[in-house]
Copies of this chain bind each other. A is one copy, B any other.
């Protein structure tokens, strides 16, 4: 169970009619999209110029794994609160956690952990997460994000 108290960023979205099936329940594929909305808002909020899943000139961030737990169904017209944080940064990878809740009741709808890797687009090999990204995340998340700094040869 992800600990909501250590999430510092939230955004809202409303369930649209074409996202639900006849029971008024959101189709399972849409929750990943909701969590992605949260991640994009988070990165913009902390000032990271990271275009997830897209190519920049010298680096590319790719999503390598998603884990999603479906705890309760969202319904048509529900206002949802999507909370997002970065839980760790290792050498070339980092994880973004998401929690989706129903605003009216606080009920938890889904939990998501999305694992990303930093790649060199020329070689397609992993490369270290840039230091300025580590600094932005450390500054925003503080103690609750586990950040490995690259060892520096002396």
Interface of A is mostly: mixed
A-B contact pairs, 13 of them (CB 8 A): A13-B14, A13-B16, A21-B54, A23-B54, A23-B55, A27-B53, A29-B32, A32-B32, A62-B70, A63-B70, A66-B67, A66-B70, A67-B67
A37 in contact (CB, < 8 A): yes
B17, B40, B54: which contacts A22 (Cβ < 8 A)? B54
A107 in contact (CB, < 8 A): no
Name A's B-contacting residues (CB within 8 A).
Answer: 13-14, 16-18, 21-23, 25, 27-29, 32-33, 36-37, 40, 53-55, 62-70
Contact present for A21 and B23 (CB under 8 Å): no
Interface-central residue, A21, A28, A37, A55, by most chain B CB under 10 Å:
A28
Contact present for A40 and B65 (CB under 8 Å): no
Question: Bound complex: CA of A55 vs CA of B17, how far in Å?
Answer: 16
Q: In the complex, what residues of B have CB within 8 A of residue A33's CB?
A: 16, 18, 29
CB distance from A67 to the nearest CB of B (A): 5
Contact present for B66 and A37 (CB under 8 Å): no
Interface-central residue, A23, A33, A37, A62, by most chain B CB under 10 Å:
A33
Contact present for A29 and B23 (CB under 8 Å): no
CB distance from A49 to the nearest CB of B (A): 15
Contact present for B70 and A64 (CB under 8 Å): yes
B13, B22, B27, B32: which contacts A28 (Cβ < 8 A)? B32
B14, B36, B63, B67: which contacts A18 (Cβ < 8 A)? B36
